[in-house]
Amino acid sequence: MTARIMILNGPNLNFLGIREPHIYGSTTLKEIEASCQALADQLGVSISFHQSNMEGELVNLVQSAHGKADAIIMNPAAYSFTSIALIDALKIFEGPKIEVHISNIHTRDELHRHSITSSACTAVICGLGPYGYLAAMLAAVQRIGQLPDTIPAALHGLAAVGKT
């Protein structure tokens, strides 16, 4: 069975490449989506990629993943710091949930330093720029046990290192 990954993006991420490039860089969300799709093709997984500025729509997407996705990768953006509704929705989903932040939120100002949504996630990746999405995809597919043999053994996890 092909692994299914839902990738969700929160408010203002549709303005990546324009919005505060000194923090978020010049890569657009469309470019991130294209990179994610290229990696999905190599991994033999399917992705659905979404962006919304509305909290309720993101909650609906998380809920819709139940039974339709094996993992969720989410950059909640500003909702990381405010959304109890996203926390509650994420708690319902039983597969891996990986939170991604383009910037290193731990080095940001007080408003952007503490993600509350990460409490409902399996893992958090921050500060890797757009590459964080790709790292999250690899981690999600590894967590659900579907990394293809074409991926180097070292990326399958510590138990796989040294196996031939």
Q: Which of 24, 79, 133, 156 is catalytic?
A: 24
Beta bridge partners of 72: 6, 97
Is 24 a catalytic site residue?
yes
Would you say 17 and 27 are in contact if contact means Cβ atoms under 8 Å apart?
Answer: yes
Is 156 a catalytic site residue?
no
Q: Which of 79, 101, 133, 156 is catalytic?
A: 101
Catalytic residue IDs? 24, 101
